[in-house]
Amino acid sequence: MTRIARLLSVTGLTALLLTTASCADARGQRSGSPSATPRDVSTAAVRPSQGGTTLADVRGQLHGDRDTGCLWLTSRNAAPRQLVLYGNYRVEFDDAGVVLYRDGAVHAREGQDVSFAGGMFLDPGVPACPVPPTDGFVSYGS
């Protein structure tokens, strides 16, 4: 796994983001993504914890797609961004939409403002998500 340091300047603030280069292996699976073809919508947008320190944040209104388990964030100042979470998260859907659990407790619901330690990460994202990765990058939170 190759780590690449990137500088991102957003509204005058500069943050160091660590990304993982992604490439296909002999089976066509992408490295950097433990689950290139998710089997369970409750964990489609969740990856195992990577540890380490995050020097940026990700925020916006939480949205999700019950068919794919995909999550994304919206805000007034930016285009929607697919969201991949690292750590002990689980996604469920009720009549009102997505319900995000962290460590077994409700963390957020559809349409709520959320904030995560995170940034941008090179990841194939969740297949068939209504919000595809942007230039190969998804927003990530932990």
Which residues of the chain register pLDDT less than 70?
1-39, 51-55
pLDDT value for 54:
65
| Per-state percent for the chain, helix, strand, coil, to nearest 5 | 0, 55, 45
Q: pTM of the predicted model, to two decimals?
A: 0.68
Token couple for 62: 């939480």
pLDDT digits (tens, 9 = 90+) for 83-101: 999 888 999 999 999 999 9
Per-residue pLDDT, 27: 32
pLDDT at residue 41 in the model: 78
91, 108 contact by CB (below 8 A): no
Cα distances (angstroms) measured from residue 57 to each of 13, 41, 71, 88, 94: 12, 25, 16, 18, 27
The three-state DSSP-derived secondary structure of 7-21 is EEEECCEEEEEEEEC
Domain range enclosing 96: 3-141
